[in-house]
């Protein structure tokens, strides 16, 4: 039998989710079986998969020593020479400025460098996280931005912080994200794009489609910051969090993001790449602001965190200013 003491880092999740993470190498059939034959107890009493673990609980799982060895294989975190650009960090959260070209989170079978991997290495080196003693919780991002988008990403370092952050991003009432986007052409001073979006899984594309045909409400607000000969730098706020929302919305009104290889103007992209040696969509998440919030993260109420553009984007903007 394996007995595990639950502390504040792990509380707040279902026992089923906890055990799936704790026995990360176990097949799903094994997890289902131990619940089916009631080989899981909390504080000496058998519980269902829906039970939510609390600080101070003792979880008992009836497994053999051989099963423990098979399902808890040692994980090795290799320190990376690439460091993360940390904007803010405390015992609950970590906010960093992601460079473009870096995935936030890869698939389980991928070996590519990711922002999540870099954050876990950072926490491991600081003694805040051990993959072999994680007790069923791994720090993770509360949201994602595209691989070729740069800017702010926030991580939850414990279960309560991560759950609250995920809820804030889901509801989108008390947290606000702002972006800078460089788009083709000139726009009016302020505007709103309200077009439902549909994600075509087979084609890997997001398209504008009515709600009646499966689209989901998507609202993007923008304000022009600067105008140049052929382009505009706009400040963007998304009121909904749809996949590729900013990119698809601006393309839909005839002002695609520069460098966007999926929804952009390909002829203009080639010209822009040749002139500025730039291959990513020009999109940077520069601000994250909290309203009044309760819970474990209440101290973040009315706080704002900002991240400046990376040098390459700054250089392009400075060069464009010469041709205003």
| Cα–Cα dist 195/211, whole Å | 9
User: What letter does residue 114 receive in the DSSP assignment?
Assistant: B
- Residues whose CB is less than 8 angstroms from the CB of residue 122 and which lie 6 or more positions away in sequence, other chains included: 83, 84, 86, 94
Q: Nearest 5°: phi and psi at 182?
A: -100, 115
For residue 86, count other CB atoms closer than 10 A to its CB. 12
294 is catalytic: no
| Cα–Cα dist 164/72, whole Å | 28
Cβ-count burial of 39 within 10 angstroms (0-12 exposed, 13-18 middle, 19+ buried)? middle
Asked if 133 contacts 168 with a C-beta cutoff of 8 angstroms, the reply is no
Catalytic site residue from 70, 90, 133, 146: 146
The whole-angstrom distance between residue 39's C-alpha and the CA centroid of its chain comes to 35
Asked if 249 contacts 168 with a C-beta cutoff of 8 angstroms, the reply is no
| Cα–Cα dist 238/37, whole Å | 47
Active centre residues (catalytic): 146
């Amino acid at each position: 039998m394996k007995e595990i003491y639950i502390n504040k880092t792990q509380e707040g999740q279902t026992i089923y989710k906890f055990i799936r993470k704790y026995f990360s190498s176990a097949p799903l059939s094994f997890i289902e079986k131990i619940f089916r034959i009631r080989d899981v107890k909390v504080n000496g009493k058998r519980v269902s998969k829906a039970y939510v673990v609390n600080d101070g609980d003792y979880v008992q799982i009836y497994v053999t020593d051989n099963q423990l060895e098979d399902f808890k294989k040692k994980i090795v975190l290799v320190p990376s020479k690439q460091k993360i650009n940390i904007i803010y960090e405390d015992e609950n959260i970590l906010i960093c400025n992601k460079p473009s070209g870096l995935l936030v989170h890869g698939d389980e079978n991928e070996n590519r460098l990711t922002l999540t991997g870099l954050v876990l290495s950072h926490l491991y080196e600081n003694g805040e996280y051990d993959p072999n003693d994680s007790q069923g919780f791994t720090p993770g991002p509360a949201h994602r931005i595209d691989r070729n988008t740069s800017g702010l990403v926030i991580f939850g370092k414990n279960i309560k912080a991560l759950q609250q952050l995920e809820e804030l991003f889901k509801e989108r009432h008390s947290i606000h994200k702002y972006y800078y986007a460089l788009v083709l052409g000139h726009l009016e001073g302020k505007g709103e794009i309200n077009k439902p979006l549909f994600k075509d899984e087979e084609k890997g594309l997001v398209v504008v489609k009515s709600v009646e045909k499966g689209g989901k409400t998507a609202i993007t607000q923008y304000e022009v910051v600067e105008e140049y000969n052929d382009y505009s730098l706009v400040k963007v706020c998304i009121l909904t969090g749809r996949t590729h929302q900013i990119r698809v919305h601006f393309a839909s009104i005839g002002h695609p993001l520069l460098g966007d290889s999926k929804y952009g103007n390909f002829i203009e992209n080639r010209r822009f790449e040749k002139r500025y040696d730039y291959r990513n969509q020009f999109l940077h998440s520069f601000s994250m602001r909290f309203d009044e919030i309760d819970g474990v993260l209440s101290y973040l109420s009315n706080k704002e965190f900002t991240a400046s553009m990376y040098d390459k984007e700054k250089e392009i903007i400075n060069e464009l200013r010469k041709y205003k």
